[in-house]
Structure 1
Amino acid sequence: MQKEQRSNSYIVGAVLIMGYLYYRATFRQDFYALPNIIANFLQSQPLSGLFATFTFRYGEQMVSTEALGYFGFLGFFGSKIWLFLSYFILTYLWYGGLSGKMRDVVTPVVVALLLSVSYAAADEFHQSLVSPAFAMKEDVVLAGAGAVLAVITGWFFFTVRKGRK
């Protein structure tokens, strides 16, 4: 009974995270809010010399301290880390909820990955309708990487670790 309640809690948590992700994508995100918050904490701009050596393209956007400024560069990475962590948590919750309901080891992995990556793609499509500047296929790949890492972590904690007890 307790295992069933825990599985249900994980699934409810996953649905809540999906609701949060939908809500977040509904509004045009102020891409410059995070850099302003960072500017208050890192006024001395530590590691600016190191960050200046990195230049790459992410979708259509050039990412560098020259193109975005120091705080915009950090804000870009902060938003991508948040995206990665959001889908990591979402997939971990789906995997935890499904692995408690199924005896098979492979099915929860496949279903959790499909649910999370499909939702990431649907979320990007939704963003293209609301705010075309922020819908990127690279974000789906990043979310997918978070989902794969979550399944590996979940498999360790729910399967391997359980076998040790």
Structure 2
Amino acid sequence: MQREQKSNSYLLGAVLIMVYLYYRATFEQNFYALPNILANLLQSQPLSGLFAMFTFQYGEQTISIGALGYFGFLGFFGSKIWSFLIYFLLAYLWYGGLAGKLRDAFTPSTVALLLSVSYAAADEFHQSLVSPAFAMKEDVILAGSGAILAVIAGWFFLTARKGRK
């Protein structure tokens, strides 16, 4: 009974994250809010010399301090880290919820990955329709990386926990 309730809690958490992601993509976001917050916290611009060495392409956008400014550069990484973590959590919750309901190890991991990566692709498509953001395959790959790592971590922790009991 307790295992069933825990499994249901994981699944509810996954659905709530999906609702959050849908809500976040539906409305125009203030992409400059994080850099403004960072500007207030990091007025001395620590590590700017180190960050100035990095320039790369993300989709069709050049990512560098010269192109985005110091706080835009940090804001870019903050938003990508948040995306990675939210899809990590989404896949982990799907895996945890499904592993509590299914006996084999392969099905929950496969379904959790498919649900998470499919939702990331659908979310990017949805963003392209309703917000000024562009749908980017790089964001789906980033979300998929978070999902893969989450399923590996979930399998490890759930298997290790079962092995100790």
TM-score bucket of the superposed structures, by smaller chain: over 0.9
Is the deviation greater in 64-73 or in 128-137?
128-137
Q: What SS is found at the alignment partner of 1:80?
A: helix
Please name the residue that 1:94 is paired with. 94
Distance 2:27 2:37 in 1: 19
Distance 1:152 1:34 in 2: 30
Distance 1:132 1:124 in 2: 11
- Are 1:26 and 2:37 an aligned pair? no
Please name the residue that 1:157 is paired with. 157
* Deviation, structure 1 residue 132: 4.6
Please name the residue that 2:107 is paired with. 107
CA contact (8 A) 2:48 2:70 kept: yes
> What is the one-letter code of the residue matched to 2:155?
W
CA contact (8 A) 2:28 2:132 kept: no
Which runs of 5 or more structure 2 residues have no equivalent in the other structure? Answer: none
How many residues are aligned here? 165
Q: What SS is found at the alignment partner of 1:57?
A: strand
TM-score of the two chains, using structure 1 as the length reference = 0.98
Distance 2:37 2:131 in 1: 23
Give the ranges of 4+ consecutive aligned residues of structure 1 lying more than 4 Å apart after TM superposition: none
Please name the residue that 1:12 is paired with. 12
TM-score of the two chains, using structure 2 as the length reference = 0.98
Distance 1:106 1:73 in 2: 39
